[in-house]
Structure 1
């Protein structure tokens, strides 16, 4: 049975790898393992050892703590968080590929234009 922490860490590995534009094969080569092992880590099928997590963090240029961000002490209730406006938002919003693509695209826009796009999105969504 998959442990919720292993699933969370695996998702964070996948998200970071995807955000930096790295394939499973490329990450595996940097870490010195087969890409199938990266697949197993990303799905939570296999646990990532401390030393391997260290290597993965180095390859993805993040601190080890990155993989545990957003992990709640109360694991069964980690699925939803409340937004400031009181509406439920998926606890793992970066699990949505469309959301990840949107974030990558957003940060690829020059800063001055990005701010205008942000303002437009707020107006269109009626969220202040």
Structure 2
């Protein structure tokens, strides 16, 4: 059975790879391994060594600690009134929304952000 930390790190690898629009094959080539190994990392079936995690972080342009963010609060309940899933980055719709959001020009993105804040305050 996979260790929860390995599963969390794998999810973070998958989500970052997806957000930057990289395939498993492309990431594997950048890191110098087979794509099947990336699959195993992303599911938590195989542990990622420190040096390999360093290479993956470099290929995905994030600091190594990115892969551990949120681990201490994983599984914790949400604040009162919130309906955000514990693993928001595991929700494909949320990831699609984030990708689409960052594809919008910055000035329009800021206005959209303000609109979303106003709407969420009303709800």
Same fold (TM over 0.5): yes
Structure 1 or 2: more strand by fraction: 1
Deviation at 1:87, TM superposition (A): 2.4
Could you list the per-position Cα deviations for residues 4-58 of structure 1 after superposition, in whole angstroms to 9, with x for gaps in the alignment?
0000000000011111110000000011111011001001011101111111011
- The TM-score with structure 1 as length reference comes to 0.87
On the 8 A contact 1:17/1:23 being kept in 2, the answer is yes
Instruction: State how 1:21-100 maps to structure 2 within 5 Å.
Output: 21-72=21-72, 78-83=74-79, 86-100=81-95
Stretches of structure 2 that go unaligned for 5 or more consecutive residues are none
Q: Give me the whole-angstrom Cα distance separating, in 1, the residues matched to 2:69 and 2:31.
A: 22
Q: Which residue of 2 aligns with 1:105?
A: 100
Deviation of 1:79 after TM superposition, in Å, equals 1.9
Establish whether residue 117 from structure 1 lines up as the match of residue 112 from structure 2. Answer: yes
Question: Gapped runs of 5+ residues in structure 1?
Answer: none
Normalised by the size of structure 2, how large is the TM-score? 0.90
Relative distance call for 1:81 and 1:111 in structure 2 (3 A) is farther
CA RMSD of superposed structures (Å) = 1.8
Kindly tell me the number of residue pairs found equivalent between the two proteins.
123
Cα separation, 2, equivalents of 1:56 and 1:81: 30
